[in-house]
Structure 1
Amino acid sequence: EESTSAKSIFNACHCEPISNYCEINGDVAVQGNSSTISMVSLRTGIPAGEISWTVKPYVRKENAAAMDLVKSWAVTSTEFLHCDLIQTVPAILFSLGGFSGNHFHDFSDLVIPLYITSRQFNGEVQFVVTDNRHWWISKFRGILAKLSRYNIVDIDRERKTHCYPSMIVGLKYHHELGIDQSKSQLSMKDFRQFLRRTYSLKRAKAIKIGDEARKMPRLLIITRRKSRSFTNIDKITRMASSLGYNVVTMEPNLSTSLGSVAETVNSCDVLMGIHGAGLTNMVFLPDNAIVIQIVPLGSIDELAKQDFEQPAMDMELRYLDYKIKAKESSLISKYKADHLIIKDPLSVHKQGWDAVRSVYLDKQNVKLDVKRFRPTLLKALQLLHQ
């Protein structure tokens, strides 16, 4: 936590529920080998050598599992700064540890907070990363290059001390997969336009049935192999096709090019999938497109709302959900209908999040009742007429 003495150092230190970040105005030196950020004691009024603040520059500070994967940085005072490399632009220091690699967290914890934090600099800022993941940089290179005109510094591997005129340590976070316009001049509309420019996406608006003669709306079904997969995808596809949809399926993974995912998603008018990271790709949908979230068994309605329903609305998308019945869950083949896991999911919630995740997210697949689900796809068609 922030100490009293630290308050005199920083022009703006923010200790928020999800993230800590600090805006340090004034010359600052960064040493990767000791994980320290140094400032001149004469200016701060704090004796040289004292650690005034420590920070883990990743947004989920309340989540111990995420924070275990994030390096701690110390902000210290020194009599004078020793600089091997003097940079002329500000820096943003952030961690690629935590839950990076999960597509939802890549956007919610990193890409959107980085967009919020860095956009003010209009590219004139250098990204300094700790806990680097080279594959992450490679995957998001297109976005990173649009936010900063400078090489990314992998600070943990640097032996030289880098000095900057100012620095932000950590990232600004508003809420899951979103931007709070009351806290920023930016919006999710701005972010989605930024993504369209970054990946040269052609469609700004979804199809309006009736305006485009005989054109079939495209339905993208996000599939998964392990947990939360559709076990009757062929039946679902046939039923959707019979309603007039041009059906596309996609199973993105770590090696899938983000540009190709963006292009595929942007070409579609409806995106559907079981609650999970793949739904994050709705960021690439055209405006007025429809997101259909299949909510599995487990009383996770609040999570479904927070992760995808509210963000979809903030993105100017239309949202529908479909809550499965016990007979559509693979759990019914493992447990009897009167088992607490089936009839009383809240009893599992009392055992904590790990139990909920293990039972309802990691070990559940879905066999959609296509007759019961059909009205949801008809409702989406109706919305595309409006």
Structure 2
Amino acid sequence: MAGRIPCLKVIHLLLLSFLMVPFLLLLTLQRTRMDPLSLLNLQVSTRASLEFKVLEESTRIIDEGDGEMAGKAIALRSETAAAAAGGGGGGNEESALHSLIQEQSNNNTEVNTEDLAANKELEQHRHVADIVTDDTVSKTTIACDFSQRRTDTCVLHGDVRILPSSSSVVLVRTPHDTLPENAAYSLRPYARKWETPVMELIRPISIGAVSAAQECGVHHAVPVVVFSTGGFAGKNFFHDFSDVLIPLFITSFHYRGRVQFLITNFNRRWVGKYAVILSRMSDYEVINLDGDERVHCSGKAHVGLMSHSELVIDPARTPGNYSMADFRELLRSSLSLKRRSIGEGKNYYSKPRLLLMLRKGSRELTNKREVVALTRKLGFKVIVAGPEQTKNLSRFAGVVNSCAVMMGVHGAGLTNMIFLPEKATLVQIIPWGGLRYACNHDYGDPTAAMGIRYLEYEVGREESSLVKQYPKDHPVFTDPESVHRQGWNAIWAVFLNRQSIKLDVKRFKGVLQEAMRSFLSR
């Protein structure tokens, strides 16, 4: 009996030992998981991977404008991953580490969807008038596009020298560049190249490559844009925007102000009028190239401005996929316009304000008092503006921005629609002469991208002063297209320059009623 007791104790000790093994193993694992050194190593490893990826992608960005925007996207992705890495729980840490490993694996095998989206965005920024300009390479390159109907453009990368005294922009050759021996071009940096008489007034710029260049007089640490304020600039409000300001926005906006404007055919009055807008596009004072003897140097130069259509921006053809909405936002910011859309702002008017744009001379509205009386009777508060009232840009833009409807006969004054708030209505009165397509092209078509509603009214034969100048059976009335076939000068002389309009208010009433319905349905 006494001999069995030690045996029982041994058996009990063995059983106890077997039961302790799982507990000790569990304790060891738990200690490893809670080890602060282990957690610290995980965080350091994760952050190091993040920093490496950011640095690796950042080195691909050379162009300042593109680099700034791409850098923001990269930083955003890094911050998101960092938040996951430092979330405080083991599951989050493992998930973040797994994501980084998976991303690295994907980069070694195939591009993941996030990188595809980022690369697509960068490619859109680098797209210049159907020429893909690779800003990620340091090669010495000249890329020119002479295929566009509205404008010619050249983009130069490398050691660029702008020589105002000889109206030339040259690229200094390097020992290993691939430029052709006869790399020489010429263009006139104004966005209306199909109008030969106007383009002859624009100073041509020679573009080429040289083995040795003059010493730099001014160094620009940012890209430069060379363009002209000649032609129609300063003479016509429509052309100020369609030929210069909008093309300049298309060409330079993706640099977000980090760009220098160099102007030839310098129009001091034009520059002064639009200084507040120009200052929102560039962080630097514009430079007058006329008479400047200095040699300007930069790593990148755009010569000429990209242009899509009249008062139109095609997002698919811009370097940054931006649109007319972005341009209008820039105008609102530049000119301190209060309303983005109808109904916004402290001074919102319950009675809709209608702005009647009046012309003097050609296409003048001869019964304006009758039209104003009808408009007021239908419930509008009427504001009448002639050429004198439009001279102060900022002040008049504020007036336009306060209105729900803008109305006028086809002409440059309708360009002020660009300051209207969204959901406002433009009413275009189209003169007699088969001009509907042309008038729509200038002012009707652009309204959709501006968020503006569009109505039109075609003048009848009896509403035109031409009935006093030509017999009723004249081709001017029976076959207006025959005048069109004679060319632009004939169209201008007959239908645009010699015509005034007396509206049939009974017939016109329906258009005003539709404008009121448009306001009420906003």
Evaluate the alpha carbon distance shift between residue 213 and residue 260 of structure 1 in structure 2; reply closer, same or farther with a 3 A threshold.
closer
* 1:80 to partner: Cα distance: 2.2
Q: Which has the larger radius of gyration?
A: 2
Partner of 2:482: 347
In 1, the alpha carbon distance for the partners of 2:419 and 2:179 equals: 48
Task: Report the equivalent of 2:60.
Answer: none
Structure 1 equivalent of residue 252 of structure 2: 118
Aligned residues: 374
Aligned equivalents of 1:110, 1:80: Cα separation in 2: 33
Aligned residue number for residue 375 of structure 1: 510
* Distance of aligned partners of 1:239 and 1:303 in 2 relative to their CA distance in 1, 3 Å threshold: same
1:187 to 314, 320, 323: 323
Give the structure 1 partner of residue 409 of structure 2.
274
- 2:57 maps to which residue? none
Out of 344, 364, 384, the residue aligned to residue 229 of structure 1 is 364
Distance 1:295 1:31, change over 3 A: same
Query: Does the aligned pair in 1 maintain the 2:461–2:477 contact within 8 Å?
Result: yes
- The two structures, once aligned, show a CA RMSD in angstroms of 1.9
1:85 is the counterpart of 2:218: yes
SS in 2 for 1:364: coil
Cα deviation, 1:85-112, whole Å, max 9, x if unaligned, reads: 1221110000111221211111111111
In the other structure, the counterpart of 2:205 is: 73
Q: How do 1:244-259 residues align onto structure 2 when only pairs under 5 Å count? A: 244-252=379-387, 256-259=391-394
2:238 matched residue in structure 1:
104
Deviation at 1:22, TM superposition (A): 1.4
Alpha-carbon distance, 1:342 to partner? 2.3
In structure 1, C-alpha distance between the alignment counterparts of 2:267 and 2:209, rounded to whole Å: 30
Distance across 1 between alignment mates of 2:473 and 2:499:
17
**1:1-386 alignment to 2 at 5 Å?**
10-15=141-146, 16-42=148-174, 43=177, 45-47=179-181, 52-82=184-214, 83-100=216-233, 101-184=235-318, 185-207=321-343, 215-252=350-387, 256-386=391-521
Question: Deviation string for 1:244-272 (max 9, x for gaps)?
Answer: 10000112359811111211100110001
Q: Which moved more, 1:231-240 or 1:95-104?
A: 95-104
How far off is 1:191 after superposition? 1.1
Kindly tell me: are residues 214 and 120 of structure 1, through their superposed partners in 2, closer, same or farther at Cα, counting changes over 3 Å?
A: closer
Contact preservation (8 Å) 2:362, 2:499 = yes
**Alpha-carbon deviation of 1:147?**
0.5
User: Structure 2: which amino acid aligns with 1:12?
Assistant: A
Distance 1:329 1:155 in 2: 47
1:45, distance to aligned residue in structure 2 (A): 4.1
Shift of 1:163: 1.0
Deviation at 1:213, TM superposition (A): 10
Aligned equivalents of 1:35, 1:85: Cα separation in 2: 16
Q: Given that residues 207 and 217 in structure 1 are in contact (C-alpha distance below 8 angstroms), is that contact kept between their aligned partners in structure 2?
A: no
How far apart in 1 are the matches of 2:143 and 2:172? 17
Shift of the alpha carbon at 1:76? 2.5
Residue segments in structure 2 that go unaligned for 5+ positions in a row: 1-138
- Runs of 4 or more above 6 Å deviation: none
Identity of aligned residues (%): 38
The separation in 2 between residues aligned to 1:383 and 1:21, in whole angstroms, is 41
SS where residue 12 of structure 1 aligns?
A: strand
The structure in which a higher percent of residues are strand is 1
Matched residues in 1 for 2:374 and 2:474: separation?
32
RCO comparison, higher one (Cα < 8 Å, 6+)? 1
TM-score normalised by L of structure 1: 0.93
Q: As a proportion of its length, which structure holds more helix?
A: 2
**Aligned-pair distance for 1:113?**
0.7
| 8 Å contact kept, 1:85–1:161 | yes
Measure the CA separation in 2 of the matches of 1:331 and 1:290: 29
Q: Partner amino acid for 1:132?
A: F
State the shift of 1:321 in Å: 0.2
Counterpart Cα distance in 1 of 2:348 and 2:207:
63
CA distance in 2, matches of 1:213, 1:24: 49
Is this contact kept in 1: 2:140–2:159, CA < 8 A?
no
In the aligned structure 1, how far is the partner of 2:391 from the partner of 2:151?
30
TM-aligned CA deviation for residue 61 of structure 1: 1.2
Instruction: Give the CA deviation at 1:79.
Output: 2.1
